[in-house]
Structure 1
């Protein structure tokens, strides 16, 4: 599943979208935000709070779990949807559905009851039957638990260990909660309100549409039939088996091929008036993109990217895609960025639609990344599935990493997605994992609320970053071979992290581990997945022939306590750390292990040369140096900053700001380091520079002292701003090979304006009037901005920021609804901790930094 992030929609690039390209939200969240759609979704917690609660009274995970005395083999599901304005039916049936499910079960232990998950559906008691060879036996429906969503179906006799079939008939509501089978409402081109029916099942919402064993370990085949009104079309996981469906009066009966064995959270149905475009992969997989008819001309890029990515994954994983078709649906109402339902991936509209007449290059990359992420899930998550939600990162962390590999392929490797990984994934993971209220990648789920809590930056970003570090240690060839063997071994089954590491151990034979013997991933990986946090690697004691390298845990608020169950990890917040290091201007990157047990004393060949660890930034840790070490690095940057790669400079700058943030480094040293920036022309180092500036300004807030801080920062940005050109951006924004350069210039201009440079703001204001205010009626989307433009121009800044408000009516409504519920489980403690850290920072640094900025400007 792709997490949902708030983002602006970029409009027409001729000329309005040029203006919007120059107004990213980087001013608030850092340079890399423009491309970042993940990892945290705007999760609609209204329903999840009702389901689970988020306090100590919520049911435990054990109370939620189903007994293991039966397992499902096949669901034969029939759903009839009552959508308004198509056919006549009794008023009380409006926005409801009728359901019938036959479940083939294997009885593993003798039992007199069958326990299923169900929620918000009404079972018809006299229609629940156990089907025996020559008779039907009525099942007694037991009490439903609102806390655990468990329903018992009782028998008068004991079932033995055989195959059995039950049939349940029921009804339910097509809800307005964006979970289960729900209403997707939109306005068509004629202004008519339409309602489609769509599903979202992850993590525990399949039970809202069908009584089932709604846990990921209960894999089964699904045969789906959808009965829907004339004038609509239905799609599901499998390919249709009866063409456009059988007509029965005012209804159409659409039948779909039985799915492979899969978990219930991957079940999907969409009933709508949507239209599609299609294509085929080289292996014959039919690929369709569904959307509102008026958006059909914006689906070609997603189709082409999807086909190419699917073909690439088949080769990369060495496993053929197991379905005959792959549908992707752009939904106007959707709770997340996207969902990887097998054979029927659902997307928020602005995560799938792209047209270069309306959207900018960042949106193009956004679509490619999300498509690549969801298609990666067809193997990592669908073919092989986590056993329980405590290892969710196996699904999401691997998919997050692989999406960057897939997107590189889609764009002919011109956009250097491996480098974009640093600001878009690694930096966010480090920030999220720096607080004490974080959690490990693999963790015991004790409360129901923690199932939802697992969908966060740790699971996605840290998961991907740790796996990328492992890939760098063992090599791409070993990594690919191990992943393929893992997927083949556990196809159509469930797996845990230990299963993955065991496969890696069997494959990797040519890499030395921390103890000097053949590396054991089973020993290395759990240190990074079962304890929270990450190390700060400090290089010190330059004595002429060696340096000492030691580790401590990096922690934003050193006095804050972790949750009790994470407070005393097996490894004591110590890690075996892979060190890639560089001496001076020698671009040969060397490797060593810093073990958990003791510091590393590293021999150096030149006492006057600098040492940089985490060269090329593959490790999931931060670096720091003593005063001598930093001075050597600063000297090298001033002498020839290109002696370090752009990735290495990204790490140096980001980690310097991070060390200063926790009082391990003086800010004066950080700013001394940035004196070289007048010669910096690469995107990656500037991402960390501008992000560091924004972090400081966030501490300063609107205090008068912020003025001198902004002037100081503008002086650092000025050389690059004077080189930046709006014409260059306009001429090259479609050129993928210049994507870094275009984004760099866009971000520099935006940051310079944000800091308050009058010339920059005047240029933007003039451009705004020329290209937006006077042409606000250009295009059907832009015309909606006229009233907002006219009423919003109070000052230069508001006129600039007004450009960020150009959304379609549907997009605005979705953003407002989801934004209102964008609270994360567990985020309250994190916000308290960050607030305390902010107060402490202000006490320690505000006056000192203010004096520094005044003297320096």
Structure 2
């Protein structure tokens, strides 16, 4: 009966929506559109190429890269950058072909030199072909390169490309200062846009060291991943055809990077200014912004130092660089990017104005910063082999960001907020038949950006939090620390983390646990289970059964499962008394128990939030009548914690938005919401407070 009512409501709502849309379209069509007749077959979409991985027989060892962005004048369409590149190679197997990524950088065979750095022997290039789909140059040589050689170099004396404003690769941004428009060059290379900046081996596993140089006007400042090494005068006309005065132009060389992937390189040329601090290891911390915003960066600088020191202690692995810059740019296509030694943020996520910004902005800045600093270890120091394991980067940083921020601001109760900000969002998206597993195979660069989503970040974080919960904090931290130390500057698969935690669990507890057998079912199949609990009082037994939970049970999962949608589920049970005493209540009794004030508050805030969220989700899917979760919300009159309120308001607000104002349910539900909120509103202290960044 409950399911039929729900389906009937959906059907009526869908039908009404369809009628309104059709009437609207009919009216619009009659007014503006001529009749359209279509004949013939629809075009067949071109399938994506899947063989996009570079061969592993040739790998980079060390790059020398110089970049010279031209951002002078007022005509952005005339901005460009020039550059030069040399990369020394490791020839793992004899070959007469080299493939090298490049995108939007035109080259010919005449621009490329392949030579032996010891003998200075040149290799003749017989053909240089560009594959637009795979975004690489295929370079054929007249003779094979000798296996096990480390002396072969590819050199490009100079290349040139437009400096675009599409927020990809090396790009141009701008801001207004005192009525004058000012330009800067900045970068975003993740996931596959290093190749838009210089020809390279642009995959995570092709790690190398880098010597970066920036050519710019003397009046500008340049920053990159590493500290500055020296600044020298260069001929302006060698890099910028519009300039002839050599006294205007300098080349700034930066120290050699550690072994790292291409996509965490970073460069900024600007008129920014900075504030700085140092720590006991004489490591420099700087926060860069346009000068008029610099006064808003105090919290960011304090947090920068705190997060670095916290994660060093948490992972038991020192931060390996001598400096750590962070910069706020006006235009950025992500919240932030964890480039090693130079984290770049969107301006709104690094500058906090305590006079007008809400406290939630303050907390959001802290969360994003904590997330990016966790990446200094979990992505930059140890990097997944390929984008299939993106979840290991983003899920891990999304999990530990709350731990790092809780250390900085324990008054924010970030652990309890995890349920509201991450877990519930993940559960909602993952309950749909259109969801996907956390771990998905990636075969094309276009697919990479598609998995930067709620499942990767928030479900990944939730599953790792579950893992942390069932192995325990000590095992988790030691296992993760061992994983980082054993794989520093290298590439791994998620199985390496599982193996480290499995070994640590055995060592710490003298018990066996195959972490991989548990985790694979959570990352390699979409969705999650709903548990049914039956109680036998005579046998004093609880029986748990599981089913794949779908918010719409009629949907078919978009991904097949090798595990038949069953999970190995860590179960934690909390009881008020010993299980052998008393008589367990049935489901309705449990719900009534939750509704009693003195008993509902024996649950933690996050458990109260979860119970509310789960009950509404079960009602939405037809497992429960809506009267059950709505009755559970009665206790909220006495609730003072943010997290349960966040859960309840989200769910009740959704119901409220689905009801028509003239429906018989709209008025009573609105009155009920006002009644619930009145007590909470009266308890809120509306006194103006000064939010001091500390």
Question: Is TM-score (shorter-chain normalized) higher than 0.5?
Answer: yes
Once the two structures are superposed, residues 103-159 of structure 1 have per-residue CA deviations (whole angstroms, 9 ceiling, x without a partner) of 100111211111011100122542311122133345355221221101112211111
> Which of 645, 649, 657 is matched with 2:616 structurally?
657
User: CA 1:111–1:238 in 2, change beyond 3 Å: closer, same or farther?
Assistant: same
> Which of 648, 663, 671 is matched with 2:607 structurally?
648
CA contact (8 A) 1:142 1:153 kept: yes
Higher deviation after alignment, 217-226 or 413-422: 413-422
Once the two structures are superposed, residues 469-494 of structure 1 have per-residue CA deviations (whole angstroms, 9 ceiling, x without a partner) of 11111111110000000000110000
**Map of 1:153 onto structure 2:** 139
- Aligned counterparts of 2:609 and 2:690: Cα–Cα separation in 1: 24
**Map of 2:296 onto structure 1:** 298
CA contact (8 A) 2:475 2:508 kept: no
The CA deviation at 1:647 is 2.1
Equivalent positions of 1:227-626 (< 5 A) are 227-242=215-230, 248-411=246-409, 413-509=410-506, 518-541=512-535, 543=537, 545-563=540-558, 566-567=559-560, 569-583=561-575, 585-586=576-577, 605-607=581-583, 609-610=584-585
- Aligned counterparts of 2:611 and 2:465: Cα–Cα separation in 1: 19
CA contact (8 A) 1:508 1:519 kept: yes
CA contact (8 A) 1:128 1:138 kept: no
Confirm whether residue 128 of structure 1 aligns to residue 122 of structure 2.
no
Once the two structures are superposed, residues 822-854 of structure 1 have per-residue CA deviations (whole angstroms, 9 ceiling, x without a partner) of xxxxxxxxxxxxxxxxxxxxxxxxxxxxxxxxx
The CA deviation at 1:547 is 3.2
Q: Secondary structure at the match of 1:75?
A: strand
Confirm whether residue 722 of structure 1 aligns to residue 659 of structure 2.
no
**Map of 2:20 onto structure 1:** none
User: CA 1:636–1:704 in 2, change beyond 3 Å: closer, same or farther?
Assistant: closer
CA contact (8 A) 1:73 1:103 kept: yes
The CA deviation at 1:511 is 8.1
Q: Secondary structure at the match of 2:167?
A: coil
User: CA 1:357–1:716 in 2, change beyond 3 Å: closer, same or farther?
Assistant: closer
The CA deviation at 1:677 is 2.2
Confirm whether residue 103 of structure 1 aligns to residue 87 of structure 2.
yes
The CA deviation at 1:604 is 5.1
CA contact (8 A) 2:108 2:128 kept: no
User: CA 1:145–1:668 in 2, change beyond 3 Å: closer, same or farther?
Assistant: same
The CA deviation at 1:446 is 3.9
Once the two structures are superposed, residues 45-91 of structure 1 have per-residue CA deviations (whole angstroms, 9 ceiling, x without a partner) of xxxxxxxxxx95242332x11111100001100111111239xxxx9
CA contact (8 A) 1:227 1:253 kept: yes
CA contact (8 A) 2:123 2:142 kept: no
Residue ranges of structure 2 left out of the alignment (5+ in a row) = 1-43, 236-245
User: CA 1:493–1:56 in 2, change beyond 3 Å: closer, same or farther?
Assistant: farther
Of structures 1 and 2, the one scoring higher in RCO (CA 8 A, sep 6+) is 1
Q: CA RMSD in A?
A: 2.3
User: CA 1:218–1:663 in 2, change beyond 3 Å: closer, same or farther?
Assistant: same
- Aligned counterparts of 1:255 and 1:433: Cα–Cα separation in 2: 48
- Aligned counterparts of 1:152 and 1:221: Cα–Cα separation in 2: 23
- Aligned counterparts of 1:377 and 1:725: Cα–Cα separation in 2: 37
User: CA 1:139–1:230 in 2, change beyond 3 Å: closer, same or farther?
Assistant: farther
CA contact (8 A) 1:83 1:229 kept: no
Q: Secondary structure at the match of 1:265?
A: helix
- Aligned counterparts of 1:643 and 1:307: Cα–Cα separation in 2: 38
Confirm whether residue 178 of structure 1 aligns to residue 173 of structure 2.
no
- Aligned counterparts of 1:357 and 1:246: Cα–Cα separation in 2: 46
CA contact (8 A) 1:423 1:687 kept: yes
**Map of 1:847 onto structure 2:** none
- Aligned counterparts of 1:245 and 1:354: Cα–Cα separation in 2: 38
User: CA 1:526–1:551 in 2, change beyond 3 Å: closer, same or farther?
Assistant: same
> Which of 625, 628, 644 is matched with 1:666 structurally?
625
Aligned residues: 633
The CA deviation at 1:306 is 0.5
- Aligned counterparts of 1:246 and 1:356: Cα–Cα separation in 2: 44
CA contact (8 A) 2:130 2:136 kept: yes
Higher deviation after alignment, 128-137 or 191-200: 128-137
The CA deviation at 1:432 is 1.6
**Map of 1:593 onto structure 2:** none
The CA deviation at 1:546 is 3.2
- Aligned counterparts of 1:174 and 1:136: Cα–Cα separation in 2: 32
CA contact (8 A) 2:594 2:632 kept: no
**Map of 1:615 onto structure 2:** none
**Map of 2:240 onto structure 1:** none
User: CA 1:509–1:120 in 2, change beyond 3 Å: closer, same or farther?
Assistant: same
User: CA 1:300–1:476 in 2, change beyond 3 Å: closer, same or farther?
Assistant: same
The CA deviation at 1:735 is 9.9
User: CA 1:707–1:140 in 2, change beyond 3 Å: closer, same or farther?
Assistant: farther
Higher deviation after alignment, 524-533 or 544-553: 544-553
Q: Secondary structure at the match of 1:212?
A: coil
Once the two structures are superposed, residues 305-362 of structure 1 have per-residue CA deviations (whole angstroms, 9 ceiling, x without a partner) of 0001101111111111111111101000100000001111100000011131232321
Once the two structures are superposed, residues 339-389 of structure 1 have per-residue CA deviations (whole angstroms, 9 ceiling, x without a partner) of 001111100000011131232321111111111111110100000001110
Equivalent positions of 1:749-760 (< 5 A) are none
- Aligned counterparts of 1:510 and 1:70: Cα–Cα separation in 2: 40
- Aligned counterparts of 2:380 and 2:348: Cα–Cα separation in 1: 24
The CA deviation at 1:102 is 0.3
- Aligned counterparts of 1:58 and 1:452: Cα–Cα separation in 2: 17
**Map of 2:102 onto structure 1:** 118
- Aligned counterparts of 1:243 and 1:374: Cα–Cα separation in 2: 30
User: CA 1:152–1:468 in 2, change beyond 3 Å: closer, same or farther?
Assistant: same
User: CA 1:702–1:324 in 2, change beyond 3 Å: closer, same or farther?
Assistant: farther
Higher deviation after alignment, 716-725 or 651-660: 716-725
CA contact (8 A) 2:591 2:628 kept: no
User: CA 1:244–1:101 in 2, change beyond 3 Å: closer, same or farther?
Assistant: closer
Q: Secondary structure at the match of 1:581?
A: coil
- Aligned counterparts of 1:331 and 1:122: Cα–Cα separation in 2: 28
CA contact (8 A) 1:116 1:212 kept: yes
Once the two structures are superposed, residues 677-725 of structure 1 have per-residue CA deviations (whole angstroms, 9 ceiling, x without a partner) of 2222222221211111112123226564534322222222222223334
- Aligned counterparts of 1:183 and 1:171: Cα–Cα separation in 2: 15
- Aligned counterparts of 2:144 and 2:477: Cα–Cα separation in 1: 49
The CA deviation at 1:532 is 0.9
TM-score, length-scaled by structure 2: 0.87
- Aligned counterparts of 2:127 and 2:677: Cα–Cα separation in 1: 70
- Aligned counterparts of 2:508 and 2:620: Cα–Cα separation in 1: 36
Higher deviation after alignment, 355-364 or 666-675: 355-364
